[in-house]
Amino acid sequence: MLLTLLILLLFFSIINLYFSIQVLRRVSAAEIQISFFEIRWQVHKHMGQYKQLTRDETGRVGFAWYGYWGSLVAACMSVILMILF
């Protein structure tokens, strides 16, 4: 059980990294400055900008916003379940 949860944690973390990169690529394409150190530590700072950019362009929030938060919640739940078991 613990190994399965650890594999799920790793999987959701990789998915979260992918969506983080997608968000930062879209924000940087809109010519908003992003420093190298923000790639993993300050993605939350740009989530609102990403949401607004995609909403202005397409009328709805981009897929990476949902993917980022969904994978983050899933990773946190994996950690909680690892602690409980």
Structure confidence by residue, pLDDT tens digits, 31-44: 888 777 766 677 88
Task: Please check the confidence at residue 61 and state whether its pLDDT lies above 90.
Answer: yes
Residue 71, judged by CB atoms within 10 A of its CB (0-12, 13-18, 19+), counts as: buried
pLDDT value of residue 39: 65
Q: What is the chain's length?
A: 85
Per-domain boundaries in the chain: 2-25+42-84
85 exposed, middle or buried (CB, 10 Å; 0-12, 13-18, 19+)? exposed
Chain mean pLDDT for the chain:
91
Per-residue pLDDT at 62 exceeds 90 = yes
pLDDT tens-digit readout, 1-60? 899 999 999 999 999 999 998 998 999 888 888 777 766 677 888 899 999 999 999 999
| pTM (global) more than 0.85 | yes
Instruction: Count helices and strands (H / E) in the chain.
Output: 4, 0
